[in-house]
């Protein structure tokens, strides 16, 4: 609950600092999607049932510690991405380039093309590893991987449209950071 609360509060806070023009109650990401709500409820139900019927499954300290490291790493990477991108960061994929929109390639964006996605990917899976939830752990990994595969392609189409060759060169140099996700395929 602490990592979930910190995640949602910090999403709002960082948006308030970096991009106040886009700030709204939606910036908390509490109403992200029905799927997100179902996933959260499923993880709590799995944890509760397994804790009742197989309490020893919930006491694997090294696994919980690994999950905690994933959560902290993911949270820090995502917030670093938001701060680095500044007003260029938005929770909604942009289809129109604003006058102030620039291609960010420094900081954590020099390591990964989509560091906020990488952070959220590991944070979300880490929440299930902390809880020692095997069913939701696998489900989360598959679901967020598919979500970010599609989202990365959607966003990169816009970025290629906005920045052209500059983005294509950046795409050649820097990986997405997400396992087995290359981004949109470009035929030249």
In tens, the pLDDT along 95-127 reads: 788 888 899 999 999 999 999 999 999 999 999
Average pLDDT across the chain, whole number: 90
Which domains does the chain carry? 1-21+33-88+99-145 (1.20.120.1630)
User: Looking at the predicted structure, is the pLDDT value of residue 179 above 90?
Assistant: yes
User: Looking at the predicted structure, is the pLDDT value of residue 1 above 90?
Assistant: no
**Each residue of 11-42: pLDDT tens digit?**
787 878 887 777 776 666 666 678 888 888 99
Q: Among 72, 48, 51, which residue's Cα sits nearest to residue 60?
A: 51
Query: What's the pLDDT score for residue 12?
Result: 80
Query: What's the pLDDT score for residue 35?
Result: 83
Listed range (43-47, 53-57, 99-103) with the worst mean pLDDT: 99-103
Query: What's the pLDDT score for residue 109?
Result: 97
């Amino acid at each position: 609950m602490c990592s979930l609360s910190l995640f949602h509060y910090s999403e709002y806070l960082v948006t308030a600092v970096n991009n106040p023009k886009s700030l709204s109650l939606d910036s908390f990401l509490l109403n992200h999607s029905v799927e997100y709500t179902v996933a959260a409820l499923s993880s709590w139900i799995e944890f509760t049932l397994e804790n009742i019927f197989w309490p020893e499954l919930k006491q694997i300290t090294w696994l919980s510690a690994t999950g905690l490291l994933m959560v902290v790493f993911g949270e820090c990477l995502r917030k670093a991405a938001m701060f680095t991108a500044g007003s260029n960061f938005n929770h909604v994929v942009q289809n129109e380039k604003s006058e102030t929109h620039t291609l960010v390639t420094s900081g954590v964006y020099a390591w990964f093309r989509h560091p906020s996605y990488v952070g959220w990917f590991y944070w979300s899976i880490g929440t299930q590893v902390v809880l020692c939830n095997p069913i939701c752990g696998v489900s989360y990994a598959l679901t967020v991987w598919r979500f970010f595969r599609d989202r990365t392609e959607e966003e990169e189409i816009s970025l290629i449209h906005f920045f052209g060759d500059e983005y294509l060169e950046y795409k050649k140099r820097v990986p997405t950071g997400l396992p087995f996700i290359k981004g949109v395929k470009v035929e030249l």
